Amino acid sequence: MKPYFEGWYHKLQKGGDAVAFIQGVAADGAFIQVISRDGSRRFSYPKEAYRRYGDTVIVGRSVFSPWGMRLRVNDGLWGDVAYGNSTTTRGGIMGPLRWLPLECRHGVVSLRHVLDGGLHMDGRAVDFTGGAGYIESDRGVSFPHSYFWVSCSDLPGGGAVMAAVADVPVGPLSFRGCVAAVAAAGGGAQERQYRLATYSGARIERCDARGIRLRQGRRVLEVGLLPWRGHPLAAPAGGEMRRTITECIACRGRVRFTDGERVTIDAVSKNISVEYMP
């Protein structure tokens, strides 16, 4: 059997509380990783404990789906949170790149959704009702050697953004590509969603630990970050979770998206999630 991994990322945030659960399976077993402002932890399971039905994943006694989370890790980490009013990306975030033999395929299940419920985390009950959530997925063999990833789901009026820049190997060649999804305020029929991507002509004008700037025609996406520190997470390399990356789940920064002369988003958030592996 060829090396393979798949992982799912569920983030919950409300006010000063932010936590993400990364569940998946690789050649060396199944797992649930937890990252918050305070640090990160990994819970290991046998491969047989992992089951997937579409975008619904079961690991041990915990269930993660596009409609909610039933968390049952242990006596100190459990709860139930339902998701509603999801903002999904249209047409798949990878576009035509999904047909290439890539080492990692990225997916966005929900750019933003509303939370209803709470969790018990190490003796503290946290009510996430009215907060914002985010779901994405990754499948393949390895994470990109070098990449930048950022997401934010609590922009005013229901706005949200996800963007990634990565060195993408395709056989003996490689290229530096980008993809971003922006949901503007409004929701429902009033919502406007934008896609910036290498396959649509987007250019990477800046990418470093302080943020990114992408331009596609008249549209410009900028994410500027204040200095941040991340917590370690296990990541896939050769189909096994043997690489260490760092993520800050709640970084302060500014998101600005312009479409020609029109400023569609210009907002500050304290809950921007970011990973940067130079």
What single letter denotes the amino acid at residue 209?
A: A
Averages of pLDDT over runs of 10 residues in the chain (278 residues) are 92 96 98 97 98 97 98 97 90 79 91 97 95 97 96 89 91 87 69 90 97 98 97 97 98 96 94 96
DSSP 107-118: EEEEEEEEEEEE
Do 64 and 54 meet the contact criterion of CB atoms below 8 Å apart? no
Sign, CA dihedral 43-49-51-56, equals negative
Start-to-end C-alpha separation, the chain:
31
pLDDT value at position 88? 87
Residues 129-161 pLDDT 10s: 999 999 999 999 999 999 999 999 999 878 999
pLDDT value at position 170? 76
Residues 100-131 pLDDT 10s: 778 999 999 999 999 999 999 989 999 999 99
| Residue boundaries of the structural domains of the chain | 5-277
Tell me how crowded residue 267 is: count the other CB atoms within 10 A of its CB: 17
Cα separation, 8 vs 108, in Å, equals 10
Quote the pTM value. 0.95
Q: Of 14, 251, 5, 253, give the one whose Cα is nearest residue 134.
A: 14
